[in-house]
Every structure is written in C-alpha cells, then in structure tokens.
Amino acid sequence: MGGCNFKTDIRLPPCISKSAFQQHYVIGKGGFGKVWKLEHKYSGELFAMKEMSKARVLAKKSVQSVMSERQLLAVLHHSFIVNMHYAFQDRGNLYLVMDLMPGGDLRYHLGKVKKFSEEQTSEHYSEFFLACVLTGLEYLHGNGVLHRDIKPENLVLDGRGYVRITDMGIARVLQAENAKDTSGTPGYMAPEVMFKQNHGLEVDFFAIGVIAFEFMTGKRPYTGKTRKDIRDQVMARQAQLQEGDLPEGWSIDAMDFINRLILRKSSARLGSRGTEEVKSHPWFAHFPWEKLSLKALPSPFVPGEGGDHFDIRLNLSNDPWKDAHSPAMQEATFVLRRPETQHLFHGYYYDGSISTQPG
C-alpha cells in the first residue's frame, strides 16, 4: 500500500493533495465537515471529497472513528459500496476522496416526495433498492464488517439508479464483545444496540426492515424526537404491519418480509442466519440476483437529468455548524498546534492509484 510519513502528509507534495483537484461545489454535510464535488486536474475524473475538520473530530472525541473508517476503506472495494480513491490531510483537515454518486441519497428523494409515489412504492421499486443494499451488505458481512448505520442518508444512487452503501464512520469488524458500541441513528438502531447488548450482523438487517417500512408507509415503525422516546416505544410494543396497513401494490410477502426484519429479538429476526436467508425470502423469489450483481438489470428509478441530485440549501452557508465557537472546539483548535496531537492522525494517507486494491 502506498503512503507517506507524517511530515510529508503535512507538507503536501510529493503526496497527492488538495491541490491536485478542482473543487466544484458542496454536495453534502457530515458531522465533521462538508462533502464536495471535485475534479482531478490531470485525469479529469469526478469524485466526491469529504473534508473533515480535525478540531471537530477532536471535540467530538471521534479520532478512532475517522481512523477506523480510513483503515476499513483501504481494504474494502466493491461495486455496491462507495469506494475510497485517496486520503490525505493538512494541519486543519482530513480529506477522503470517494466515488461520486450523482443520483443523491435516498433521504433526498424521500424528502422530495415524502414517500415514493404509488408506482414507486410498488414492490418493483423497493425490491430493487433493497436488493442493492443487501448485495453491498453481503460483501461487508462476508468480510466480517458491521455497518451499523444503514439509513436513507447513507444509501446513495449512481447515475443509473443503482444504490450503494456509504459512510463507514461507525462500521466495525465483528467482535463477540461489543456491548459498549452503541453509536448509530436511533430511528434505525436495532434494539440490542440501543439497550447496550452484544450484537451481530442482525443489526444491519433490522435497519433494512425500518427502511422498507418507511418506503411502504412514509414513516418509521418507532418514532420520537429523542433517543429516549424511541427506546420507550421499542420497550412498550413490537411494531408489526397488518394487512389493513398495506397500500395498493404491496403484497403479503412484502409485509412478512418487513415484519420479520423488524423483530426486536435478534435471534428470531430474518437474517440471523446470514444474508442468504434474507435474499431467499419469498418476496425475492423471482429476483434476478446475478443480473443485479453484474449491473445488467435496468433500475426502475433513474435520477432525472439536468444536474446532480443534492440539496442546494447546503451551499447557502459557509459554516453551518453551531458548535464552531464552543469551548470544546476552541480547546481542540488549540491542542492541534501540538505535534503529539497531529500524530494521532499518522498513517491517514492513501493513494489508490498506486495501491493494490482487493477485488
């Protein structure tokens, strides 16, 4: 694997650096900074770049998270996940250069229509989207990796309408003892994570069930303004769809698929025996998995032409974070001056053009 020593990472040349790219505009925002659309000045290739403030990473005590994501992305490469091409840093920021997904994320599209139109919420649409996610998860799980934050914001579309999984920030290699790993998004978080229990691959299947529920009904099975609200609902009842809840165009098999994925007890959940169990559910009885894996299957939903599918409101503010002047941020900015603090990010550099990537 290619790399640089730490001093070279800070003094950018001869390693690849921000100067090798032409930044176009902001296409997203994460917990640590912005996501840019950019172009490689020499090859003309288009990419997405996560720009992450080191001070914000320090203030949120997330050094391990960003370093773990970089390490995982260096060994993961698949056509149904968003892949890393370059990683580098300067004194203030970390940069991840990734595949550009011009179709936007599923949250963007759900937000535009609240729930997909009657035609788009047909089993054909939802089946295709979720099959893409399952294919990506099959690869991750096969490599012993739990994503742990499957949600519409982390499912992005390419120009042909194929969905890929992104954001490995809280992904982890599967371990027997992981009860302390409680990060995630409450509305999509499996009960065993929420209640600080050891958890396995089933957590990602629970999240797929929540998304399928949302596709069908326009809402999640457990809702609330806070993590406590959602936790209380999970404790109080087992959410399940009934035949009377089925919109036109949805089948009993689809209902059963969702109900079995959102079971609170992980050992009873569809997927407890692996991805193949989910793919073998009657809802997918006639799905052409091989064609999908070869990307030879036309997507039922292709993002419209005329530009990228991102929220233009992201471009209206130069610094949309309310914590910019918080005591934690001020302290983190100060300690970044120390060499030992900068050393926390040692080894971040990656150049995929000179590195051997797994197939």
Compute the half-sphere exposure of residue 101: CA atoms within 13 Å on the CB side of its CA.
29
Paired tokens of 65: 């998270």
Which position among 9, 105, 149, 158 bears the catalytic label? 149
Buried (b) or exposed (e) across 280-291, using 16+ Cβ within 10 A? ebebbeebeeee
Name 335's Cβ contacts closer than 8 Å, sequence gap at least 6: 58, 341
For the chain, how far is it from start to end, CA to CA, in angstroms?
15
Q: What is the largest CA-CA distance in the chain?
A: 64
Name 355's Cβ contacts closer than 8 Å, sequence gap at least 6: 1, 2, 74
Q: Is 105 marked active-site?
A: no
Burial class of residue 253 in the structure, from the number of CB atoms within 10 Å of its CB (0-12 exposed, 13-18 middle, 19+ buried): middle
Catalytic positions are: 149
